[in-house]
Amino acid sequence: MSKTMEPDLHEPSAGIPRPSAQKEWKHPSDHWMRGFILDNRAALGTLAVFIVMMAVFMIANPTVFTTWYLYRSVLTTLPVALFVVVPLVFVVTCGEIDLSFPATMGFASWVFALVVQAGYDPFLGIAAALVTGMLLGFLVGSLVVYGGLSSLIATLGMNFLLRGLIQIINEGKSMALTSLSDSWAYTIFSSQLLGIPVQIFWAIGFVVLSAMLYNRHRFGAQVRVVGDNPDSAQQMGIDVKRVRVKVFVFVGIGAAIAGTFSVMINFTWWPTAGDGYLLPVLASVFVGGTPTWGGIGTVVGGAIGAVTVSFIQTGVVAAGLSGFYVQFFNGLIIILSLLGHKWNQARYR
């Protein structure tokens, strides 16, 4: 082969001085703003949807939407959703789905309620709930991953199975936990700080930590790669099954926290605890801009999606429309967001 056909591999660095060559590589765009927008377009799109929606509500009923009361009630219930929306972003990115989290919420919070009712410290109850959530997540994940089952169907089945178990054992009876109100755990996790429900601070912390886990941690990187191309991930030595089981365990942990928080809001555990969260939480993930096909997603977008979804219900009623409009608006926002994300996000193959 002739010499001309063999370009010296070190040539490029010889011609251009290194620092300037390095500079060329530094950032994809001429301006950091553009780079930021490109990197976060899904989350920003969701934010835009939220802002437009709130503007519409405010125009419809300015008085209600400028009162703090409305926001306080949203800030109390929103955290519960956030604790499951965020782990679900990981699951969906990984190319799976988990529909069993409502039952896990119910189950873990049941364990919490049992421990508290037996007279132990609520902190012990929280620890027990977390362990329960982890174990259930591991069980569901193992069933899907090692059993080679479709996560859509298998987790749906597990949701029914676990909920059924709760119902059979409790025969529909709830548990009142009045002793909670003067416990340390309540003050730390469920009271108010400067008039703001303290849950939201914990939830924000959880979102920030999870976003770092997703974008800046080995776990998140492997979740994305596995969801993108599991064969490649395996060829590069990633334990694909282990990563998949881990995301289900993460959902279990999130569901346990969510369930415990919801019990602490009401001082009561119901055998149906968590049931109502299935559809709003799933909607939040996709409204947030995480696509269904795996490989990419956004934790912050999911969180904004959760805020959007939880404001729809409150907003529709507060705007003076009858409750009959809630489902209609839910659907409208979901469809509009999906259309927006489709236009906003290219799918690479």
Partner 1 sequence: MAERLIELRDISKSYGQVYALGGVNLSVDRGEVVGLLGDNGAGKSTLIKILSGVVKPTSGEILVRGKPVTGWSAARSREAGIETVFQDRALAVQQTIVRNIFMGRELTGFLGFLRVNKEIEEASRLMREIGFTSKVFTPQSIVGQLSGGERQGVAIARAIYKQAELIVLDEPTTALSLTETAKVFHFVRQVRASGRSILFIGHNIHHVFDIADRFVVLDRGKVALTTDRSEVKSAEDLINFMEEVAHPGGLAGLHDAGDAEQRAR
Minimum separation from the CB atom of position 291 to partner 1 (A)? 9
323 part of the interface to partner 1, by CB under 8 A? no
* Residue 27 interacts with partner 1 (CB under 8 A): yes or no: yes
Count Cα neighbours of 59 within 13 Å in the Cβ-side half-sphere.
6
Amino acid at 74: V
Residue 277 vs residues 100, 148, 258, 262, 326: alpha-carbon distances, Å = 11, 27, 10, 11, 15
From 19, 40, 12, 44, select the one nearest 296 (Cα to Cα): 40
| Count of residues touching partner 1 (by CB under 8 A) | 43
Residue 65 C-beta: closest distance to partner 1, Å: 39
* Contact between 32 and partner 1 per CB under 8 A: no
| C-alpha to C-alpha distance for 95 and 106, rounded to whole angstroms | 25
> Both ends of the chain: CA-CA distance in Å?
36
Which value, to the nearest 10 degrees, does the dihedral of the CA atoms of residues 207, 200, 326, 174 take?
110
Q: Does 66 bind partner 1 (CB under 8 A)?
A: no
Per CB under 8 A, the list member of 123, 201, 219, 325 interacting with partner 1 is 219
Q: Of 46-54, 98-106, 221-229, 250-258, which part binds partner 1 (CB under 8 A)? A: 221-229
Q: Does 231 bind partner 1 (CB under 8 A)?
A: yes
Q: Would you state the structure tokens that stand for residue 346, as one six-digit string?
A: 């290219």
Q: Which stretch binds partner 1 (CB under 8 A): 17-25, 112-120, 195-203, 254-262?
A: 17-25
Interacting residue with partner 1 among 73, 217, 241, 319 (CB under 8 A): 217
Minimal distance, residue 123 CB to partner 1, in Å: 24
CB atoms within 10 A of CB 73: 14
Give the residues lining the site for partner 1 (CB under 8 A). 1, 5-13, 21-22, 24-28, 212, 216-219, 221-222, 224-225, 228-229, 231-239, 295-296, 346-349
